[in-house]
Structure 1
Amino acid sequence: MKKFLLPLLFLFLFILESLFVQLIPENLFGSHKIWVPHLLFSAVLFLTIYGGRKYGIIYGAVYGLLFDIVYTEILGINLFLYAFVAYIVSKIMHVLQNNIIVSYIVSLFGIALLEIGVYEMDTLIGVTQLSFMSFVEMRLYSTLLFNAIFLLIAAYPFKKYFEKYFHVLRDE
């Protein structure tokens, strides 16, 4: 039964992410700002940090593909970037101390990498004509601010849950 709790948590965050977009007003950070909640991806990053690289990459790939299927018209961008950024975060955490503050900052860095990666892929294939500075001003800052607030609330529960979950799995 406990093995199903982790996928259910990620599925809940996937659904909650779309509810945030539906329920929070568009002009939360101003009329020209676009903010994107990355609740699911934040959990993938914390899973990578506290559960291990293998789980982070697998869950990143699976839920990145699910995100692509449901929300985007181009399959593969989030599939690749979720797993790739989880891998980069795991490498960064091998160098840095593993505490909640460093995990918080590295997770925000991972969200920034994801956003910039999606922007660059969209620019490369011609989906967007937005300049990089316009992207940073309109989307990146507000997205990082929103996700920083979310991580202030969720970082400690994520840390405790993933540590406890993988401790129980190791004991079985």
Structure 2
Amino acid sequence: MRKFLLPALFLFFFIMESIFVELLPVQHFNSNRILVPHFLLIVTLFFTIYGNKTHGIIYGFAFGLLFDIVYTEVIGIYLFMIPLIAYITSKMMQILQSNIIVVTIVSIVGVALLELGVYEMNYLIKITSMDFTTYTTLRLLPTLILNLAFTIIVAYPLKKFFEKYAIDLKKE
């Protein structure tokens, strides 16, 4: 059962990102801000920190590729960035304490790295012409606030779930 529960959890958050975008259009709030949910990245980072580092990076590769295929024009941005951020996070957590507040901050830094990496790649290949200041106010800050709210809501349940997963993995 556990073998199917973890991929199902990742798939749930993958699908939840697109459902969230459809159900909460910002245009109804008379705003031109762009909210980008990165729920899958946050779950991947929590899994990398509390579950298993190697499996977290593998899930990052798999769902990064799936994200690129389904949502983006350029294959490889998320395929490269999500596992890289998971790896950087795992190295950071060797230095930092893994309490829930630090992990929340590190997760938001990971979201910021992903957003900045995607923006820079899109800017380099001329998919976007938005300057950095406009990007920061219209997309980066609202995205960070949205993902911080999501992280605060799901941090404790994810921590408990992945800690239990790590204990079960060690028993086998």
When normalised by structure 1's length, the TM-score is: 0.96
Cα distance in 1 between the residues matched to 2:51 and 2:104: 15
* Structure 2: stretches of 5+ with no match in the other structure: none
Letter in 2 for 1:117: G
Are 2:159 and 1:159 equivalent residues in the alignment?
yes
- RMSD over aligned Cα atoms: 1.2
Cα distance in 1 between the residues matched to 2:29 and 2:56: 31
Change (3 A) 1:92 1:30: farther
Cross-structure match for 2:34:
34
State the shift of 1:4 in Å. 1.2
Letter in 2 for 1:136: T
Percent identity of the aligned residues?
Answer: 56
1:30-64 Cα deviation digits (max 9, x unpaired): 51200101111110010111123211211111000
User: After TM superposition, which residue ranges in structure 1, 4 or more long, deviate above 2 angstroms?
Assistant: 27-30
Cross-structure match for 2:117:
117
Letter in 2 for 1:6: L
Letter in 2 for 1:91: K
Cα distance in 2 between the residues matched to 1:39 and 1:85: 14
Cross-structure match for 2:17:
17
Cα distance in 1 between the residues matched to 2:145 and 2:94: 26
Number of residue pairs the alignment of both structures matches? 172
The 3-state SS of whatever aligns with 1:98 is: coil
* Structure 1: stretches of 5+ with no match in the other structure: none
Cross-structure match for 1:43:
43
